[in-house]
Chains A and B, each alone.
Chain A
Amino acid sequence: MYAKLIGAQGRGQASYRVSFWLDLAGTTVVVGADLISVLVIFSRVPVLAGFTLKETIVLFGLALMSFSVADLLVGNIERIRTYVRLGTLDTVMIRPLGVLAQLLCLDVGFRRVGRILYSGTVLGIALWVAGVQWTPSKVVLLVVAPLAGAAFFCGFFVATSTVAFWWIESGEIANSLTYGGRDFTSYPITVYSGWFRKIFAFGLGFAFVAYYPGLVLLGKADPLGGPPWLGWLSPLVSAAVVALAAFIWRFGVRHYRSTGS
């Protein structure tokens, strides 16, 4: 059923061909710029908070991969403000299907597929250059970590976008949290310090997207002294985030105020 909706959406988008390719090119350039900023930092310093360039790129790749998958799946939820304002949400709620699922089907970002390919490439090269000592458990983790990370970001996207239900002019608050979160996870958490690290890394759980799984893959001890099994905790953290997001979403839908007429 949802496949049919997505297909319809795809056909709709296909009627704007040039726009599709421009979007694809645009997202590639934007994400490319992020990688360059990492490279620029390391052109000035050889080691950043205990991490070399190669190691940092592995974390960067993991974070980007997680984010890209989540962005493909639920990224367009950031448009919920528009949906609330235009009343699209009303038209969705009169259909016998889930509200969230329908909204996601409204605008599947096929153009975002490019980002996944790109982040996969970055991660692959980074792991190869970093000379990871592969073991069966690390291979499993390599599959589990981006999936858990993607689930984490999905939950985060949904939870933050729910703000729009209460606050129609919520502006870019949701985006600053999600994109901020992505940028936070792209670097080793040792870069940050004090309360900022505590809140983002542990309070919100961003350390479990790339940092801890990355340490396990790299076979590196945590400079902060955490035990190595923390890297395997990411699915649990993600499950908690998703559960919380689902709760917040339901609550949001119940308290939806709609707009005039």
Chain B
Amino acid sequence: MKVIETRELRKEFIVRTRKGRFRRAKKVVAAVDGVSLAIERGEMVGYLGPNGAGKSTTLKMLTGVLTPTSGGVQVCGFMPVPQRLKLARRIGVVFGQRSTLWWDLPLRDSFELLRHVYRVPPAEHAARLQKCRDLLELDAFIETPVRQLSLGQRMRGELTSALLHGPEILFLDEPTIGLDVVSKQAVREFLAELGGRGDTTIVLTTHDLADIERLCRRIVVIDHGRVVHDGSIDALHARYGSRRRVIADLDEPLAAAIDLPGTRLESTTGLRMTFSIDGSTSVGPLVSLLASSGKLRDLTIAEPEIEDVIARLYQSEGGRERSRAA
């Protein structure tokens, strides 16, 4: 069953730029430019893109905050903006950069208020809260006013607050932004556990690719408002020709240059040689060649890093101005 479906979703903003002393030029910029997505129940989808690619704008249209300029969108079978109130009961939203908790109240009071806001039966609420308290270790600071919490603690509170009404979809807008390693880990583990149960669909935007690698089987990459990749991480690697690297440390320089198909010498620094290997080529011939030279001291095979892939993706797709003058 599809819980999220968009067809040619588009959002335009009018941007006024200064032109001369008093004149202002009006420009229509499409922050989201024809995004079509279908997300099934229980999927964990990473929504990725450089700053200003339209990630947050898409999320806001899916949650009923922004009205799309054109195109269709259905979330849990609802039209987000006209049916915002109904939809709000079925989704949970965490904004990494803004708080949805009551600033001056302890977490416990915020949670209690949310029970009333969403009209959750007390027993259900208590059970969900207990689960979050255990998994996110909230007990140490549940009585502290939100304003005194650290960012990591607050984010754990935000996650809990988004889940207390048992949403079908959890939207996370940069949930690990600014967190330290330990908190990031806690948030990721929690989300992995939640996603693993399969009844909650999770859509998260992030800059932190480790989030995605750890959590999402499917990634949607957006740039300049358009989807440039929708599929698994492996598919992304295959499509953009990711290369594994073989790093060889030698005792002395090799006598002859290595010439193997699909293998390229990237750099030589002193006695360290770095080779890059095409996605479909085996590392076997290179490794055995190096080993038979008798000069090999150490060898490392590095898997392709998603960072590289994404960076390349942005470079190849980016730079094209998709805005047009009105």
Contact = CB atoms under 8 A, between A and B. Distances in A.
Interface of A: 1, 4-5, 8-9, 11-13, 15-16, 86-91, 93-98, 254-258, 260-261
B95 A15 contact: no
Given A8-B105, A15-B104, A96-B117, A258 B66 contact: yes
Interface string B99-134: 110111100010001001110000000000000000
A258 B60 CA distance: 9
Contact of A94 (B88, B103, B145, B174): B88
A213 B64 CA distance: 44
A6 to B, nearest CB: 11
Contact of B113 (A8, A15, A90, A258): A8
Interface residues of B, number: 34
Interface string B54-69: 0011001001111100
Contacts of B65: 89-90, 93-94, 256, 258
A37 to B, nearest CB: 36
A96 B89 contact: yes
B229 to A, nearest CB: 21
8 contacts: A5-B117, A8-B109, A12-B103, A16-B104, A87-B97, A91-B95, A93-B84, A97-B117
A94 B91 contact: yes
B98 A90 contact: yes
A83 B57 CA distance: 18
B63 A94 contact: yes
A256 B116 contact: no
Q: 9 closest pairs, A vs B, by CB?
A: A12-B104, A96-B88, A91-B100, A94-B93, A87-B98, A93-B65, A96-B89, A261-B56, A96-B85
Contacts of B249: none
Given A4-B113, A87-B95, 5 more contacts: A91-B99, A93-B64, A94-B64, A254-B81, A257-B66
A93 B64 CA distance: 7
B173 interface: yes
Contacts of B64: 93-94
A11 B81 contact: no
A90 B97 CA distance: 11
Nearest to A5: B113
Contacts of A87: 95, 97-98
A244 to B, nearest CB: 21
A95 B174 contact: no
Nearest to A257: B13
Contacts of B100: 91, 94-95
Contacts of A5: 113, 117
B89 A11 contact: no
A63 B72 CA distance: 48
Given A94-B88, A258-B60, A260-B56, A12 B67 contact: no
A15 B174 contact: no
Contacts of B117: 1, 5, 95-97
A77 B309 CA distance: 47
Of A13, A86, A88, A261, chain B has the most CB atoms within 10 Å of the CB of: A261
Contacts of B174: 261
A13 B105 CA distance: 10
A95 B91 CA distance: 9
A87 B66 CA distance: 12
A168 B3 CA distance: 34
Contacts of A88: 98
Contacts of B104: 11-13, 15-16
A93 B103 contact: no
B49 to A, nearest CB: 12
A93 B63 contact: yes
A13 B102 CA distance: 11
A256 to B, nearest CB: 7
Of B65, B66, B93, B116, chain A has the most CB atoms within 10 Å of the CB of: B65
B159 to A, nearest CB: 14
A4 B66 contact: no
A12 B60 CA distance: 29
A261 B173 contact: yes
Nearest to B103: A12
A185 B142 CA distance: 50
B91 A91 contact: no
A256 B93 contact: no
A91 B88 contact: no
B9 to A, nearest CB: 15
Given A8-B113, A96-B88, A90 B102 contact: no
Contacts of A254: 67, 81
A13 B113 CA distance: 16
A12 B85 contact: no
A256 B66 contact: yes
Contacts of B88: 94-97
A240 to B, nearest CB: 26
Contact of A1 (B109, B116, B173): B116
